[in-house]
Amino acid sequence: MLERFRGLSRSRRIGFAIWAVLMVLGGVMMVVAWQGRPVAGDCLTGLEEGLTGYPIVECDDPAAVWKVVGDAEGERDDSDLGTCDGQPDGQRINENVGRNSSWEMCVVPHRP
Q: What is the pLDDT of residues 78-110, one digit of tens each?
A: 777 888 899 899 999 888 777 788 888 999 999
pLDDT tens, position by position, 39-76: 999 999 998 887 778 899 999 999 999 999 998 888 77
Dihedral pair phi/psi, residue 104, rounded to 5° = -145, 145
Give the closest residue to 39 by CA, choosing from 92, 100, 105, 95: 105
Distance of CA 1 to the CA centre of its chain: 36
Model confidence pLDDT, tens digit, residues 34-49: 446 899 999 999 988 8
Contact between 54 and 66 (Cβ < 8 Å): no
What is the pTM (predicted TM-score) of this model? 0.64
